[in-house]
Amino acid sequence: MPSLIIDTDPGVDDAFAIALACAMPEVTLLGVTAVFGNVPLAMTTRNARRLLAFLGREDVPVGIGAAHPLVHPQVHEAYDVHGSDGLSGRADTLPEPRARASDVDAVTLMARLLEAADEPVTIVPIGPLTNVALLLAAHPRLAEKIDRLVIMGGGLAHGNTTPAAEFNLWSDPEAAQRVLAVEQVPVTLVPLDLTLRCTVDKAWLTALAESGPIGAALAGFSADTYAYYSEFLGRDGVPIHDAVAVAEAAVPGLLRTAAMPVEVDCSYGPGRGGLIADQRPEGRRRGQPTDRRPVEVAMEPTDGVDKLRELLLT
């Protein structure tokens, strides 16, 4: 049974991802770590704690992570996608946690959980990669306790924040570049190219809202994200990017992957934060091959998009 740590910036789709991890019997959720991203750190931490309280999982510890990227200040949050508080203005409908906030920082929490684990742990970074980069820099020997990273991030064809860059990589390109370079840690990258194909529509959200209180809350959180993405996509649909990564972490092999060397554009030009993936087939990487190690890039759900949507309704 995979044991997971979710590193997150809730965020509407992060809320779906956390709820999914709590609902899936295949998963042991060891901890959640918060990072700046969609909204500032104080809000992502509050949202993570309140979500776990709402889901009846206050036993899951929350670590407080980075408030800023490693090198360059964050340019803007994603209020336009996730609303004024990261949950379409509805964070206050979630209960206050009963337990007092633990003030353990994210890196310490991840390190303690990894050290204590009998089996290697899957980390699921679904926000900027700052916390994970700091963990790997501060505790390199713990790399061997990580089974793999299942990262939601990047776009091969295009970005969603700039033409080149997807939000999580764009928010801290230097952190993403460092994490992707750590040879000892296997990586599965879940890019926009896949998550934008796994959208759900209004009818799906209505069915979710009618499924019970948790479904109703998640559907309510989706209001601003749906408005943003239905315009971005030009159709009735909203992606729940981060839940796709959690689903793969919970059910390894759910997504079909292809191995390719990747790196992140850390320049200050228009490509900043973009994912550069060598999609040329192995053995045909002529010219100037990259010296980057290959990571597994998720290309499509092994059993099709509809099966994945069903799983996300769990």
- b/e per residue, 240-249, with b = 16+ CB within 10 A? bbbbbbbbbb
State which residue, 11 or 142, has the beta carbon closest to ligand BDR: 11
Which residues contact ligand BDR (rule: CB under 6 A)?
Answer: 11, 13-14, 38, 78, 81, 126-127, 152, 160, 166-168, 241-242
State which residue, 127 or 301, has the beta carbon closest to ligand BDR: 127
Q: Is 127 in the site for Ca ion (CB under 5 A)?
A: yes
Instruction: Find the shortest distance in angstroms from Cβ 312 to ligand BDR.
Output: 14
Is the distance from CB of 181 to CB of 279 less than 8 angstroms? Answer: no
Instruction: Find the shortest distance in angstroms from Cβ 120 to ligand BDR.
Output: 24
* Catalytic residue check, 139: no
Interaction pattern, residues 221-260, with Ca ion; x per rule: CB under 5 A: ---------------------x------------------
Q: Name the binder of 194 from ligand BDR, Ca ion, none, CB < 5-8 A by kind.
A: none
Pick from 126, 134, 275, 277 the residue near Ca ion by CB under 5 A. Answer: 126
- Which parts of this chain interact with Ca ion (CB under 5 A)? 9, 11, 14, 126-127, 242
Residues belonging to the active site: 241
